Structure 1
Amino acid sequence: MGEFTGAFTDEPAEIGRRVQRLRTGLGLTQRQLADPAYTPAYISTLESGKVRPSETALRFLAGRLGTSYEELATGRPAHLATELRLGLTDAQRALATGAADEAAVRYRRLLTDAEHLDLTAERAEALLGLGDCALESGELADAIRHFEAAEGLLAGEPLPRRARPIRGRAVAHLLAGELRYACYLLESTIDELNAGGLADPEALVLLYAAVIGPYMDMGAHARAAHAAELALALAPRVSDPALVAGMHRQVARTFLAEGRAADADASLAKAQAVYRELRLRTDLAHCHWMRGYVQAQNGDLDSAEAELRTARDMLAAKRAALYTAQVEIELADVLRRLGRYEEAAGLLSVLLDLGERHGAVHAGGAHRLLGLIAEERGEPDLAEEHYVRALALLERSGATGDLADLCRLLGDLLRRTGRIEAALDAYRTGLGHRAAPGSTTLGPAPAAPALPPRPAPQR
């Protein structure tokens, strides 16, 4: 948090009145207070507010007056700042263990206290906490507002200190379906860190892990895999086990895209072990979710259903509405593949307002699944309606990989119903969304950090 310096002190007149009050309260004369380092005249000038005391002078006087430098310089008892920092730790623990509502109440109170005490770093920390709580509850506009405010408070700090609020903003935009903007925020920050020689490993791992998701959603699998490789290479230099676990959770997506299901599951198992040890229920729920996804892709539908239901129950208990909805879309797909159409459609029908409330990607996914269900039940007109609505939503978000697949589904449906020209149009649209692997239209990939050389193999 840093020690206070003269830049944060009160005005000279206020400090002078404080020194005089403490001196007279102790029954000291100006000469007694000044000896042996200063003169009585200096103390008199200081108490009258005609001179701004140096940090050295204030530290000397604080020792003579039986108080702290911080309290003498600012009027703020040192124990209040310590109590505030402990409160922030408690709020962070509450959020990590799944009590997002309780954590938000604590963070709001702590933000008020930090503003009253004029503690900039603690204000930023409280705002970051409120942003994380808003992400949990799906209030994306609030999350962006809190992260922007935290970033503004840290504007004068080195870029690694600003990585957390930037990452928070990017995740909020990603969840809102704004994939390209999320990539822009993360990539530009990564570039700035590497180009400026600020290759802080914790900040980079945080950013690389966050950018994997939008890369995968946009079909940039090669770029996602490269980000995963860089994150794995940096991980040994990171001291925060939860950060490394989160990185493994995201890296699993790239392993799965490469057909490495066993490696994906091994990464998730590593992450789960850390989350259980640290009692991080939110992250543990996300691990169950991801393992369910891996098992579904690997054809183990019964295990996938069990993992996804566990994730959904854990997230629903925390009132994490947006994340719960995302898991329910995955669960509905598993139920569809198991032939349990009514259950799947029931889950999806309550999610169709997501396009307006939380962004296009998840609502598009719900319409795509409802289209598949309608096709499999012999209702081609209803299937077409859902596919067209899904296309409109996904085009808005830039989810290139999903768009290409959806155009194929729509084209196949149109071809089977005899509308060959319309089918060809759908296929052409899909081809337009199939970028070369790893490229999309994002522009140049961010520069890679300067990693330490690998040790030579033992002979």
Structure 2
Amino acid sequence: MNLARQLSYSRGEEGTVAEKSAGDGRAAGAAGAGAGAHGIAEIGRRVLRLRTERGFTQRQLAEPAYTAAYVSTLESGKVRPSEAALRHLAGRLGVSYEELTTGRSPRDATRLRAGLTDARRALATGASEDAAKLLRELHAEAERRGFAEERAAVLLGLGDCALDTGELTAARDHFEAAERLLADEPLPRRVPAIRGRATAHLLAGELRYSCYLLESAIDELNASGLHDPNALLLLYTAAIAPYMDMGAHGRAVRAAELALALAPSVDDPGLVARMHRGVARTLIAEGRTAEADASLAKAQELYEQLRIHTDLAHCHWMRGYIHAQDGNLERAERELRIARDMLASKRAALFTVQVEVELADVLRRRGRTAEAEALLLPLLARSPVSGEAVAHAVGEPEAAGLTAERGAVHAGGAHRLLGLIADERGDAESAEEHYCAALSLLERTGAAGDMADLCRLLGDLLRREGRLEAAMDAYRTGLGHRAAPGTTTLGPAPAEPPM
């Protein structure tokens, strides 16, 4: 089983038959480690270490088939050992042929794989901190033993843990390290790390770069003929969110269509569930809320079967958004509170505060503006008016707040809602400050639709204040963001795979 996918495509599914065969091929060809000078030297050092640990002399290790001189030249990396010689030495040293040639002890590898399974289970149930602790221990052991494949799998897991807890810089570092370890592997093996990096940049508000990473990988896969359905489905599904945030709705819809076409070729239920979540978002944007709800119901059923609790919370989150779009604010509030409580209990700090922004919008629309304002202000790292630090909600640490580098789109949304609340109570000065703060946050993200809406709100406010020239400037800026969504910031769409 390919460990690099063990903590990536889903949080609990096995790799494909082809991957397992590839792994078997690597093990069977382990003697090829002696094909290069570096491999010969590594084997020599390994023989020297094992011989010393066991207290053998070179003669005792060599006899009866070889000489002490042969062992000496092998340990110094000056001779290319034959398979027969390696099997003889492995038998004398009491290790397997694979361990001698690759440094991988089957027992150690089995123990690491079991640990990865435990960590994957903890991550699936939302115990991100417990999973991260176990993964850090596994990473230290894998690094000490030189198990590159296991290290990559552990790093992917640590990256997913960091995404859950909102530590975006750490998440990027883990995914980048995993990608470096897999640099010589085929691109489908590296796709989970690329997807992880793109997601971290998306959550940080770097929408264009997120799209660039995903589209580049899609183009490379299709150009090279590596039409791996798991890899492509993962990439197209991940691309939907940044496309939607940037206002590139047509491109998001096409990614959803391609994902749906790929789904029958994928046997990973976790990946299929994630696809249904992404597709639901495009359906919501098209006003097809009943279909979106049905798509989310499919995802929710799969997540419940797999016991993937954090992603199940995301389904409640999106269903709350659907009900809000339909005007069923009571059901929307109920679903969003379920999502918030589930995420908060799993210490998914960044996702928790993002849900709270959505919940505050529903509360404001229900006329409970004081509750909405009380929920929003603690989410922002600094007060937009005074610049002073403010306390954070539900006992979260200061790092749980929204900033320009951490949840910029939702930070902009929080300021937008606070601006609306101030505007509704006649506090034009505070409303303008919040609208401008939101525009400043969103400008670097490329979230075209949100920026257009903010420019309209700001223009209306300025017009009511009699500042007509400033209002016209705001309207013109907004129209610029509404025209041809996505085309001003994204290049040509990636090539499509043959279906």
- Fold-level match, TM-score > 0.5? yes
What does residue 47 of structure 2 align with? Answer: 15
Letter in 1 for 2:110: T
* Structure 1 residue 389 corresponds to structure 2 residue 437: yes
Q: How many residues align?
A: 443
Letter in 2 for 1:450: P
CA distance in 1, matches of 2:449, 2:265: 33
User: What's the secondary structure of 1:112's corresponding residue?
Assistant: helix
CA distance in 2, matches of 1:333, 1:141: 29
What does residue 233 of structure 2 align with? Answer: 205
Are residues 402 and 89 of structure 1, via their aligned partners in 2, closer, same or farther at CA, if it must alter by over 3 Å? same
* Structure 1 residue 45 corresponds to structure 2 residue 82: no
Are residues 75 and 374 of structure 1, via their aligned partners in 2, closer, same or farther at CA, if it must alter by over 3 Å? closer
Q: CA deviation at 1:181?
A: 0.7
Match of 2:450 among 402, 411, 415: 402
* Cα shift readout 1:169-223 (whole Å, capped 9, x = no counterpart): 1111111111111111111111111111111111111111111001101110000
CA distance in 2, matches of 1:348, 1:358: 16
User: What's the secondary structure of 2:426's corresponding residue?
Assistant: coil
CA distance in 2, matches of 1:144, 1:130: 10
Q: CA deviation at 1:117?
A: 0.7
Letter in 1 for 2:358: E
Letter in 1 for 2:271: L
CA distance in 2, matches of 1:114, 1:312: 36
Q: CA deviation at 1:70?
A: 2.3
Are residues 252 and 56 of structure 1, via their aligned partners in 2, closer, same or farther at CA, if it must alter by over 3 Å? farther
How is 1:195-234 mapped onto 2 (pairs within 5 angstroms)?
195-234=223-262
Q: CA deviation at 1:48?
A: 5.1
Equivalent pair of 2:323/2:329 in contact (CA under 8 Å): yes
CA distance in 1, matches of 2:334, 2:407: 27
Are residues 330 and 20 of structure 1, via their aligned partners in 2, closer, same or farther at CA, if it must alter by over 3 Å? closer
* Cα shift readout 1:267-304 (whole Å, capped 9, x = no counterpart): 10000001001110011011111111111111111111
Equivalent pair of 2:43/2:100 in contact (CA under 8 Å): no
* Structure 1 residue 249 corresponds to structure 2 residue 281: no
* Cα shift readout 1:31-65 (whole Å, capped 9, x = no counterpart): 65x4xxxxx45x86246525332346424654687
* Cα shift readout 1:71-127 (whole Å, capped 9, x = no counterpart): 333555320111011101111110110100101101110000000110001111111
Letter in 2 for 1:330: E
Equivalent pair of 2:103/2:145 in contact (CA under 8 Å): no
Equivalent pair of 1:18/1:72 in contact (CA under 8 Å): no
Q: CA deviation at 1:416?
A: 2.4
CA distance in 2, matches of 1:444, 1:238: 27
* Structure 1 residue 373 corresponds to structure 2 residue 421: yes
Match of 1:71 among 99, 105, 111: 99
What does residue 207 of structure 2 align with? Answer: 179
195-204 vs 359-368, which moves further: 359-368
186-195 vs 53-62, which moves further: 53-62
Match of 1:307 among 317, 335, 342: 335
How is 1:101-250 mapped onto 2 (pairs within 5 angstroms)?
101-250=129-278
Are residues 149 and 370 of structure 1, via their aligned partners in 2, closer, same or farther at CA, if it must alter by over 3 Å? same
Q: CA deviation at 1:412?
A: 1.6
How is 1:72-111 mapped onto 2 (pairs within 5 angstroms)?
72-74=100-102, 76-111=104-139
What does residue 37 of structure 1 align with? Answer: none
CA distance in 2, matches of 1:119, 1:328: 42
Runs (5+) with no aligned partner, structure 1: 35-39, 452-459
Are residues 299 and 59 of structure 1, via their aligned partners in 2, closer, same or farther at CA, if it must alter by over 3 Å? farther
User: What's the secondary structure of 1:385's corresponding residue?
Assistant: helix
Equivalent pair of 1:217/1:401 in contact (CA under 8 Å): yes
CA distance in 1, matches of 2:46, 2:310: 47
What does residue 422 of structure 1 align with? Answer: 470
What does residue 455 of structure 1 align with? Answer: none
Are residues 45 and 234 of structure 1, via their aligned partners in 2, closer, same or farther at CA, if it must alter by over 3 Å? same
User: What's the secondary structure of 1:72's corresponding residue?
Assistant: helix
* Cα shift readout 1:238-274 (whole Å, capped 9, x = no counterpart): 1110001001101101011111111100110000001
* Structure 1 residue 439 corresponds to structure 2 residue 487: yes
417-426 vs 248-257, which moves further: 417-426
308-317 vs 58-67, which moves further: 58-67
Match of 2:410 among 340, 362, 367: 362
How is 1:265-304 mapped onto 2 (pairs within 5 angstroms)?
265-304=293-332
What does residue 454 of structure 1 align with? Answer: none
Q: CA deviation at 1:376?
A: 2.1
CA distance in 2, matches of 1:17, 1:121: 23
Equivalent pair of 2:62/2:89 in contact (CA under 8 Å): no
CA distance in 2, matches of 1:107, 1:13: 29
Equivalent pair of 1:401/1:433 in contact (CA under 8 Å): yes
Equivalent pair of 1:13/1:47 in contact (CA under 8 Å): no
CA distance in 2, matches of 1:274, 1:85: 25
Are residues 76 and 195 of structure 1, via their aligned partners in 2, closer, same or farther at CA, if it must alter by over 3 Å? closer
Letter in 1 for 2:138: L
Q: CA deviation at 1:158?
A: 0.6
What does residue 412 of structure 1 align with? Answer: 460
CA distance in 1, matches of 2:352, 2:111: 35
Q: CA deviation at 1:357?
A: 5.3
CA distance in 1, matches of 2:52, 2:160: 45
Identical pairs, percent: 67
* Cα shift readout 1:110-162 (whole Å, capped 9, x = no counterpart): 00000011000111111111111111111111111111111111111111111
What does residue 329 of structure 1 align with? Answer: 357
CA distance in 2, matches of 1:348, 1:31: 77
Equivalent pair of 1:205/1:231 in contact (CA under 8 Å): yes
> Normalising by the residue count of structure 1, what TM-score does the alignment of the two structures yield?
0.91
CA distance in 2, matches of 1:233, 1:179: 25
CA distance in 1, matches of 2:145, 2:62: 30
Equivalent pair of 1:355/1:361 in contact (CA under 8 Å): no
RMSD: 2.3
Equivalent pair of 1:177/1:359 in contact (CA under 8 Å): yes
